[in-house]
Amino acid sequence: MDQSRRKLRQGAPLNAPGDRLGVTFSREGPSIGPVALLHKVGGVFEVRPMDELEYVLGLAFDQSVGAVRYLPALEGIARALNAGDHAQAMLRTQLLNLPRLPEEEAYTDIQDKGMKMLFAASGILEASRPDRLLALAPLLDDPDPGVRSDTAGRMIGVIPERAVAMLEELKDSDHLEAARTARTTLLSYTMRTGGDWLRYA
């Protein structure tokens, strides 16, 4: 994957709510670009599931964000919002030191592709909240082999037959990153399920 996608800008001030690239804060909590980090369940703020955050942010940043490391701080922000203390929630968001999406003028073609996938995946998740990862299934038909491989790896526990078929198709792909991800995922999956893992070793 293009290393430029790993160059995140750290520690930048919060942008105005609705900004499509920066870190923002509103009465609904913190967001990175289009991705809300909290959501409401029964009227109570909770941290959005980590599998969703890692997936959609990974489309733009590769896996370098590591959303899970922010979990304790995000839980604190949720508690502050639930207590009606928006000032404390905003301060906690600023102290998170969240990454920002790259400036639009700095995009390469691969970054632009990743950003399109980020916004698409975020929209899919918001439209189909109860289904969580299943809502990402349309990305298995994405033209980018890297997106298909990553999606299949994340969904192998949800729709294993389709995911395995996709990974089998990609494991010998000319797209080296997609092929590597597919083989690694298939190796791990077959070892867990008692399959013929030596095929992928």
Give me the phi and psi of 57, to 5 degrees please.
-70, -35
Question: Looking at residue 156, what is its pLDDT?
Answer: 86
Predicted TM-score (pTM) of this structure: 0.55
Domain ranges of the chain: 1-127, 131-201
Question: Looking at residue 143, what is its pLDDT?
Answer: 87
User: How confident is the prediction along the chain (201 residues), in pLDDT tens digits per residue?
Assistant: 444 333 444 445 677 776 666 678 888 899 887 778 898 888 899 998 887 777 766 665 655 667 788 889 999 999 999 999 999 999 998 888 776 665 554 444 444 555 566 666 666 565 544 456 676 788 888 888 888 888 888 788 888 999 999 999 999 999 888 898 899 889 888 888 888 878 887
Angle between helices 145-155 and 160-170 (to 10 degrees): 150
Give 174's contacts (C-beta < 8 A, 6+ positions apart).
none
Question: Looking at residue 14, what is its pLDDT?
Answer: 79
Sign of dihedral through CA atoms 5, 51, 164, 141? Answer: negative
Question: Looking at residue 81, what is its pLDDT?
Answer: 95
Question: Looking at residue 97, what is its pLDDT?
Answer: 77
